[in-house]
Amino acid sequence: MMSMPGNKTNIIKEYIKYKAGAISALITCNLVMLSVFILYDLDVTPFLYALLVNTIIIIVFILISFVKFYNCHKARKRILDSVLNEGLELPEAENLSDEDYYEIISVLNNRCNELSNRLNSDIQDSNDYYTIWVHQIKTPISVLSMLLKDDTAKDRHCRDELFKIEQYVDMVLNYLRLGSETNDLVLKEQDLDKLIKGSIRKYAALFINRKLSISYEPVDIKLVTDEKWFSFILEQLLSNAVKYTMTGGITIKAVSGEVSITDTGIGIASEEVPRVF
């Protein structure tokens, strides 16, 4: 979208550009007439007198034209502000050209509102569907978790995969909540050590089954964050660390308010690093 000039100096420059053709034509005509007077060896005094009168009249007309140009600019700015504030208000049209432009703007605005409403409706339907699906899928996950109680290698492997499924389901639910207008974001002081240990306990079974070590030194750090969302992000990083680490272990450090998670896994290709975040 073309930006409108912001101050009076810019508006004057824009006006000169806008009228550059007419101004050039007037100057050219007067130079042609002056050349004719000189070539025919005529007295240029009447011409200079007429030029002075014409210049005064032209200046008056330019000032009137500039005022109209400036008022039109302010009117367009008001229209833009009303569009940005989701309440299109068009001023009264002064001529047929304004009526044509206002009609085009109104049609486009109505079309945009229709598309926006349709999009919001589709998004809401999609969110409702996935929210129901997430809650429904939790029932068979819970049943399978209760059935896999034996300590056999097969059951442990099944529990690991079931845990991953449950994490993916929670991920879907969290993303649905992220875009919700009723986002239950609660910012308050949290104990970082408690948040990290909670996430480690959640993934403890995966660490044990994969025979991965976990290195973490307790810290005494307080931070203002949302407990649920901070834990969600931390667990996503832990999940990826476990997923791509076959041997060795994972190290979690918290220094000066910065939390880092490193592992002995396959790593990330250098060309992919810029896309991670």
Domain boundary among 91, 119, 146: 91
Domain for residue 1, yes or no? Answer: no
Residue range 139-159, pLDDT digits in tens: 888 888 778 877 788 888 888
Least confident range from 109-118, 176-185, 237-246: namely 176-185
Q: Give the side-chain half-sphere CA count within 13 A for 182.
A: 2
Residue by residue, DSSP assigns the chain as -PPPP-SHHHHHHHHHHHTHHHHHHHHHHHHHHHHHHHHTT---HHHHHHHHHHHHHHHHHHHHHHHHHHHHHHHHHHHHHHHHTT---PPPP-SHHHHHHHHHHHHHHHHHHHHHHHHHHHHHHHHHHHHHHHHHHHHHHHHHHHH--S-SHHHHHHHHHHHHHHHHHHHHHHHHHHT-TT-----EEEEHHHHHHHHHHHTHHHHHHTT-EEEE-----EEEE-HHHHHHHHHHHHHHHHHT--SSEEEEEEETTEEEEEESS----GGGHHHH-
Pairing of strands 258-263, 222-225: unpaired
pLDDT at 251 over 90: yes
Whether 129 is covered by a domain: the verdict is no
* 169 lies in some domain: no
**Domain with 211 in it: what CATH number?**
3.30.565.10
Mean per-residue pLDDT over the chain, rounded:
83
Q: How confident is the model at residue 4 (pLDDT cuts 50, 70, 90)?
A: very low
Q: Which of 61, 91, 121 is the last residue of a domain?
A: 91
Residue 189 lies in a domain: yes
- Residue 76 carries which side chain, given as an amino acid letter? R
Q: Is 234 exposed, middle or buried (0-12, 13-18, 19+ CB in 10 A)?
A: buried
Percent with pLDDT over 90 in the chain = 9
The answer as to whether 140 is a domain residue is no
Residue pLDDT, tens place only, 233-247: 898 888 888 888 888
Task: Name the domain boundary from 58, 91, 124.
Answer: 91
Q: Comparing 114 with 8, which gets the higher pLDDT? A: 114
Give dist(CA 176, CA 82) in Å, integer: 31
Residue appearing with tokens 């700015």: 77
Task: Give the chain's domain count.
Answer: 2
Determine, yes or no, domain membership for 228: yes
Identify which has the larger pLDDT, 87 or 38.
38
pLDDT value of position 195: 92
Domain with 211, as residue range(s), is 185-277
CB-CB neighbours of 175 under 10 Å: 13
pLDDT tens-digit readout, 197-218 = 999 988 888 888 888 899 998 8
pLDDT of residue 3: 45
Q: How many CA atoms lie within 13 A of 204 on its CB side?
A: 7
Of the two residues 9 and 234, the one the predictor is more confident about is 234
pLDDT at position 180: 62
pLDDT > 70: what percent of the chain? 94
Q: How many CA atoms lie within 13 A of 39 on its CB side?
A: 6
**What pLDDT, on the 0 to 100 scale, is given for residue 194?**
92
- Is pLDDT at 21 greater than 90 in this prediction? no
Q: Is residue 163 part of a domain?
A: no
Beta strands 222-225 and 188-191: pairing type?
Answer: antiparallel
Task: Determine contact, residues 195/231, Cβ cutoff 8 Å.
Answer: yes
